[in-house]
Amino acid sequence: MNFTIPLIQIGEGEKQLVGGKAYALAVLTKKEMNVPAAIAVTTDAYDAYVAQTGLRTKIMMELNRKTYDDIRWEELWDTSLRIRNMFLNTPLPKELKDTIEESVEAYFTGKSVVVRSSAPGEDTSETSFAGLHASYVNVSGTDSILQHMKLVWASLWSDASLLYRTELGLDESRSSMAVVVQEIISGDVSGIGFGQNPNDPAQCVIEAVYGLNQGLVDGTLEPDRWILDRAKGDIISHTPAVRSHRLEISEAGTLLASLPLQLQSRPPLTQERIQNVYGLVMKAEDIFGLPQDVEWTMKDGIIHVLQSRPITTLAGEKKDDKRGWYLSLKRSFENLKTMRQRIEDELIPALKKETEGLSKTDLSLLSDKEIEDEVARRREIFEKWKKIYWDYFIPFAHGMRLFGTVYNDTVHPEDPYEFLSLLSTGDMVSLQRNDILQAMASHVRGNDSLMHDLKEGNFSNPSFRSMLEQFISSHGDLLCRSRHCAEETPSIVHMVLEMASMSVKAISRKEELHEREEIFLAQFQGQKKEDAKAMLDIGRASYSMRDNDNIYMGRLKARVLEAEEEVSRRSGTAERGPASARRFDSLSIGADRSQSPALSDDADPGFGLQARQITGQPAGPGIATGTARVIRAAADLMHFRKGEVLVCDSIDPNMTFVVPLASAVVERRGGMLIHGAIIAREYGLPCVTGISGAAEVIHTGDRVTVDGYLGIVIIENVTNAIREC
Amino acid sequence: MNKIEKISELRQILSNLFAGQKLAVLSSFGNEQPYASLVAFAFTEDLEHLLFATTRSTRKFANLSSESKVALLIDNRSNTDKDFSYAVAATALGRAEEVSGTERASYVHIYLTKHPHLREFLSSPSCALMKINVQKYYVVNRFQNVEELHIQ
């Protein structure tokens, strides 16, 4: 077994063993180009690791929980996170560790390195996919280098890789990953040279930024861009960037630092240096015989090649291929900081203000023509905010994912979702809403005469009435969302009565939260600690916003429906209660309306079919057995009884007021960070998501067990034994 | 996919599984004790019956004589790590009875088509051809997914 090979010793026979990136760097080294000193950790090392530790089998089981077509992008992220945690928590076998350590220490003692992926076949002209696998910049110390090597291995199963698994030919029983450990060059200027412009084959493109290349590669920094004539190297155009920052090496790894003023007005490359980069890119093309995408850095006037691969575009991108969009939701920490400021300081206040403004209009005073115009105006406003929701609120959810990755990298918890417990600070509007309902329930509990009155539909008790009005004024009615129909809708009272009849589980978030926060922050010193605090802060804001944005959008939606209902009222087709709730369902902000195909009742006359045990994703630890209540529409929430298992296709925070009554939550939509999972965690309920066709294969009245540890739902006693077909 | 298609898919999975396997594990019960034994099995195309042969002096035959309720496990494990992801196992529940009379010839044909080398064994007077009338199948795949196919 050859676990490591220095770059200089890599020959053609080792191409598969060291992966495309390491092989290309070895070829360039032999052609006497400036390539930083590096070693390749071979695929043999990866193979030995996953075989000896049993990880290969675990990965296989993890990836085969469900059929690939049934897995949503969010589930892939979760799967990838779980696999990543397995790598983090599985030590290297001794012989393997000793061998790699020896090589790393021989080459890099006292030096900082970059740890890069080098997957076999990754950098061929057919399958070059940029950014699917991980790279870590400025890593020092043998232990840390080895730990980052494991993270690069884990990125063979990153969510991005899994999204493109077919194109990559990813096979959990055979795929492997080599790693390049490369001495870091702290460049003054860095960039990418594309030997051929994908938009014009007669041109090439050079991009450059001040500082390290990572800032350009991960999209944090906008580069200066030059288009050159491919044949002659003449500059055709230059698009300058707004140069405000550069990525520098720091104690914490890298640091986005302000660019000195004198550099802000000066392009990072002079005419002469542009020609140097052009020469480099063309030389790489001569060597490999195909136009190259070359990452380079320049220090003290000397240009170094960091990597070179053939130019390709993402394969398989069809018009309806949303994978590129999913990946664009991943944002850098800097991007999230800017986004947060805009969301908190500008967008949410504007959304609230606009919604409040609408509620001030007395619709009954408008003429018929005016009310029709008002409906159109409100719809338009809703559509405007829906776009903002998708452009800002949805991508901001990446903040909690980013924090989760940092948390797992430092704390190495057994539960890869432990980080969620740090994010829950009780700032979610849905929790505040539910707390008020609990308070009303406490008021009713023990007061038999009030309870009796409420059951009889008599809501005249003054103190209860006042609480009810206060609730409606701050949160609206639970089902129809319109204030004017609240009096006719007993949904709030129903909820309060159900809550009053069960014992209250006090949820103490504060102490545990503080303790976990201390454990997390104790892992860091100095600047790193400040960065960790900032990351936690972003994670928390993102966590609350994930839920709150839907509540705010729900309130805006109520204003649209209110106007529509006024039109219906005047035309004599007004709807109330459940019908109104159905209209609420129909005005959607979500894109994920693709419910699992329902199993129709037509069936084979000789056979009956029933799912007995279904595998989904573990989304909230715990186990509970109860009677299923399938929620297909908001109106079904009215029938919810305490102790039932909430089964739904997808639930949004406007509907999660029933969750405190539930014993467990099951959702068709998969993911750890979907609303159903978040609220279930808040109440300590077992939760399983990603159950295909949940609302179809499980029926109201079925007795089900929800195993939130393993992500399994067991249907024990179906309502009609076996459903006759 | 509607329920007919789903059932048809599951039946196809079972047919393929049964066609690819020669042996199954039979669970019988006697003397207040479950008893497992390996048997060479065959199946009818409609999946309603499973067949196996046993000599009458065996413990399993004695068990079946006093308690006809049985389970039969048929799986395609390869004894590798891939089994945890890719193996399929079907457990049939039903009642076993000895095949006799006019129906025997057709069941013998089915059985010997699958196991021609057992012709001598089956023709022995001491050997009984047993038929399980299947009531339901539990089909497990992907380690933990379980579906129940109920024969009406």
CA A380 – CA A9 distance, rounded (Å)? 65
Least confident among A17-31, A488-502, B115-129 = A488-502
- The pLDDT value given to residue A598: 46
Residue reference for tokens 């550069």? A246
- Taking the CA of residue A68 and the nearest CA in chain B, the distance in Å comes to 12
Neighbouring CB atoms inside 10 A of A64's CB total: 18
CATH classification of the domain holding A97: 3.30.1490.20
Residues A112 and A243 occupy one common structural domain: no
Residues A194 and A171 occupy one common structural domain: no
Neighbouring CB atoms inside 10 A of B83's CB total: 17
Domain boundary (A127, A148, A183) is at A183
Residues A13 and A108 occupy one common structural domain: yes
- The pLDDT value given to residue A130: 62
How does pLDDT run across A511-563, given as a tens digit for each residue?
778 888 998 999 888 878 888 999 999 999 999 998 899 889 988 988 898 88
pLDDT band of residue A719 (cuts 50, 70, 90) is: low
Neighbouring CB atoms inside 10 A of A147's CB total: 18
Q: Do A603 and B10 touch (CB under 8 A)?
A: no
Q: Is residue A497 part of a domain?
A: no
CATH classification of the domain holding B135: 2.30.110.10
Chain A residues within an 8 Å CB radius of B147: 609-612
Least confident among A142-156, A169-183, A311-325, A506-520 = A311-325
3-state secondary structure labels for all residues of A453-483: HHHCCCCCCHHHHHHHHHHHHHHCCCCCCCH
Residue of B nearest to A61 (CA): B85
Task: Give the start-end residues of each E strand in A634-711.
Answer: 645-648, 664-667, 687-689, 703-707
Residues A385 and A528 occupy one common structural domain: yes
Chain A within 8 Å of B86 (Cβ-Cβ)?
yes
Least confident among A484-493, A680-689, B54-63 = A484-493
Residues A308 and A342 occupy one common structural domain: no
Q: Is residue B119 part of a domain?
A: yes
Q: Is residue A574 part of a domain?
A: no
What count of CB pairs under 8 Å joins A to B?
91
CA A379 – CA A392 distance, rounded (Å)? 20
Q: Is residue B115 part of a domain?
A: yes
Most confident of A248-257, A294-303, A429-438, A561-570: A294-303
Q: For chain A, what's the residue count?
A: 725
Q: Do A615 and B142 touch (CB under 8 A)?
A: yes
Residues A693 and A652 occupy one common structural domain: yes
Average pLDDT along chain A: 86
- The pLDDT value given to residue A460: 84
The residue that leads in pLDDT, A383 or A710, is: A383
Q: Do A615 and B7 touch (CB under 8 A)?
A: no
Q: Do B150 and A600 touch (CB under 8 A)?
A: no
- Taking the CA of residue A107 and the nearest CA in chain B, the distance in Å comes to 37
Report in angstroms the alpha-carbon separations of B6 from A65, A455, A599, A635, A697.
19, 45, 8, 30, 12
Q: Is residue B148 part of a domain?
A: no
For residues A167, A172, A173 and A174, what is the CA-based torsion angle, rounded to 10 degrees?
Answer: 50
Q: Do B85 and A611 touch (CB under 8 A)?
A: no
CA A295 – CA A300 distance, rounded (Å)? 17
Average pLDDT in the A5-16 region?
92
Q: Is residue A166 part of a domain?
A: yes
Domain boundary (A162, A183, A204) is at A183
- Taking the CA of residue A620 and the nearest CA in chain B, the distance in Å comes to 18
Chain B residues within an 8 Å CB radius of A57: 81, 84
Q: Do B3 and A725 touch (CB under 8 A)?
A: yes
Q: Do A610 and B147 touch (CB under 8 A)?
A: yes
CATH classification of the domain holding A648: 3.50.30.10
Residue of B nearest to A607 (CA): B151
Helix, strand, coil share (%) of chain A residues, nearest 5: 50, 20, 35
CATH classification of the domain holding A221: 3.30.470.20
**Residue closest to B74 by CA, chosen among B88, B94, B93, B95:** B88
How does pLDDT run across A157-199, given as a tens digit for each residue?
999 899 888 888 888 888 999 999 999 999 999 999 999 987 8
Q: Do B148 and A612 touch (CB under 8 A)?
A: yes
Query: What DSSP letter does each residue of A184-245 carry, written as one string?
Result: ----SEEEEEESSBTTBTTEEEEEEEEB-THHHHTTSSPPEEEEEETTT--EEEEE-----E
Chain B within 8 Å of A691 (Cβ-Cβ)?
no
- Taking the CA of residue A401 and the nearest CA in chain B, the distance in Å comes to 28
CA B138 – CA B152 distance, rounded (Å)? 14
- The pLDDT value given to residue A597: 45
- Taking the CA of residue A10 and the nearest CA in chain B, the distance in Å comes to 33
CA A54 – CA A89 distance, rounded (Å)? 13
> Tell me, what's the ipTM?
0.77
Specify the number of domains making up chain A.
4
Chain A within 8 Å of B138 (Cβ-Cβ)?
yes
Residues A419 and A349 occupy one common structural domain: yes
Residue reference for tokens 């800032």? A215
- The pLDDT value given to residue A478: 64
Residues A384 and A531 occupy one common structural domain: yes
How does pLDDT run across A589-648, given as a tens digit for each residue?
655 444 444 444 555 556 788 888 999 989 988 999 999 999 988 778 888 999 999 999
Q: Is residue A68 part of a domain?
A: yes
Residue of B nearest to A691 (CA): B145
Task: Give the start-end residues of each E strand in B1-151.
Answer: 23-30, 33-43, 49-55, 69-75, 89-98, 127-141, 145-151
Could you give the percent of chain A with pLDDT greater than 70? 89
Q: Do A64 and B85 touch (CB under 8 A)?
A: yes
Residues A349 and A416 occupy one common structural domain: yes
Domain extent for B136: 3-143
- Taking the CA of residue B139 and the nearest CA in chain A, the distance in Å comes to 9
Q: Do B86 and A64 touch (CB under 8 A)?
A: yes
Chain A within 8 Å of B95 (Cβ-Cβ)?
no
Chain B within 8 Å of A709 (Cβ-Cβ)?
no
Chain B residues within an 8 Å CB radius of A692: none
Chain B residues within an 8 Å CB radius of A62: none
Smallest Cβ–Cβ distance between A712 and the set B4, B144, B150 belongs to B144
Chain A residues within an 8 Å CB radius of B48: 606
CA A529 – CA B20 distance, rounded (Å)? 60
Chain A residues within an 8 Å CB radius of B145: 613-615
- The pLDDT value given to residue A718: 59
Chain A within 8 Å of B77 (Cβ-Cβ)?
no
* Long-range contacts from A239-242, C-beta under 8 angstroms, 24+ separation: A240/A267, A241/A209
Residues A206 and A307 occupy one common structural domain: yes
- Taking the CA of residue B14 and the nearest CA in chain A, the distance in Å comes to 13
Helix, strand, coil share (%) of chain B residues, nearest 5: 35, 45, 25
Chain A residues within an 8 Å CB radius of B49: none
The residue that leads in pLDDT, B104 or A121, is: B104
Contact criterion met (CB below 8 Å) for A45 and A100: yes
The token pair at A92 is 């290297």
Report in angstroms the alpha-carbon separations of A602 from A412, A607, A625, A702.
50, 11, 30, 20
Smallest Cβ–Cβ distance between A722 and the set B4, B138, B150 belongs to B150
Strands A623-631 and A645-648 come out as parallel
Residues A295 and A210 occupy one common structural domain: yes
pLDDT of A576 higher than 70: no
How does pLDDT run across A329-365, given as a tens digit for each residue?
777 788 888 899 999 999 999 999 999 999 888 888 9
- The pLDDT value given to residue B38: 97
Q: List the single best residue of B1, B44, B45, B85 to mutate versus A (max A Cβ within 10 A).
A: B85
Domain boundary (A123, A151, A183) is at A183
Q: List the single best residue of B81, B91, B138 to mutate versus A (max A Cβ within 10 A).
A: B81
Q: Is residue B14 part of a domain?
A: yes
Residue reference for tokens 């505040």? A432
Q: Is residue A491 part of a domain?
A: no
Chain B residues within an 8 Å CB radius of A69: none
- Taking the CA of residue A228 and the nearest CA in chain B, the distance in Å comes to 52
Chain B residues within an 8 Å CB radius of A612: 138, 146-148
Q: Is residue A437 part of a domain?
A: no
Q: List the single best residue of B7, B13, B135, B137 to mutate versus A (max A Cβ within 10 A).
A: B7
- Taking the CA of residue A712 and the nearest CA in chain B, the distance in Å comes to 8
Specify the number of domains making up chain B.
1
HSE-up (13 A, CA, CB side) for residue A700: 10
CA A322 – CA A319 distance, rounded (Å)? 8
- The pLDDT value given to residue A725: 31
The token pair at A14 is 């080792």
Per-position pLDDT tens, chain B of length 152: 677 888 898 999 999 999 999 999 999 999 999 999 999 999 999 999 999 999 998 999 999 999 999 999 999 999 988 888 889 999 999 999 999 999 999 999 999 999 999 998 999 989 999 999 999 999 998 888 899 999 87
Chain B within 8 Å of A51 (Cβ-Cβ)?
no
List, in sequence order, every residue forming a beta bridge with A112; answer none if it has no partner.
A140
Chain A within 8 Å of B81 (Cβ-Cβ)?
yes
Domain extent for A701: 613-717
- Taking the CA of residue A62 and the nearest CA in chain B, the distance in Å comes to 9
A216: region left, alpha or beta (phi > 0 left; psi from -120 to 50 alpha): alpha
Chain A within 8 Å of B13 (Cβ-Cβ)?
no
CA B49 – CA A171 distance, rounded (Å)? 38
Residues A283 and A348 occupy one common structural domain: no
- Taking the CA of residue B7 and the nearest CA in chain A, the distance in Å comes to 7
- The pLDDT value given to residue A484: 45
- Taking the CA of residue A551 and the nearest CA in chain B, the distance in Å comes to 35
Chain A residues within an 8 Å CB radius of B143: 61, 64-65, 615
- The pLDDT value given to residue A672: 85
